Each structure stands twice: as C-alpha cells, then as structure tokens.
Amino acid sequence: MKGVPGRSIQHPAFVPPFAAALDALMPATAAVALPPEYTVVIFEFADHYVSRAYVAAAETLTVAAPEDALTVHATPALVQLMASLR
C-alpha cells in the first residue's frame, strides 16, 4: 500500500484480510476523477499487478491499473481494514 503522500506498507500478512474484505458483491460504477488524497493498494503477481485507489472520504475503491475506469463502494470490512492501517 502506498499512501499519498509517501507512507508505504508492504507485508504478505495483509493479503488474507484484504482478500476476505474484497470477497463480496460490490457492483461497479463508472469511475470519476480521483481527489488529491487517496491510498494505492497494489497486488503483485508473478506476471502482472493490479492497482486500486482507495478514497477514504468516499469509501470507494477505483481500479487504477490496469486502467478500466470502474469504481466500487467499499465493503464495511474493507473500510474498517483501511482505517486500521492509518
């Protein structure tokens, strides 16, 4: 995870709670422009990565890379997890 500005957290122990928080029905909507403050959550695999922008004020998660212009409203579990990491 990379915060704006600058703070970074990288640890395999974060993967299970994130996976559990993301394992939910979250209907997607068209993405809007990101505000100046957000946190980037990156999942890196052997052959690619996916990057999500979490906006705490709106409780949304936006696909940042690969870019496909979709946003979801974060689950309560994800909101709580992100708040605990601040």
**Secondary structure of 35-74 in the HEC alphabet?**
CCCCEEEEEECCCCEEEEEEECCCCEEEEEECCCCEEEEC
Q: What is the pLDDT of residues 7-17, one digit of tens each?
A: 677 777 888 88
* Residue position matching structure tokens 């990565």: 49
Tell me the pTM.
Answer: 0.81
User: Model confidence over 35-54: pLDDT tens digits?
Assistant: 998 888 888 888 988 888 99
39 neighbors 56 (Cβ within 8 angstroms): yes
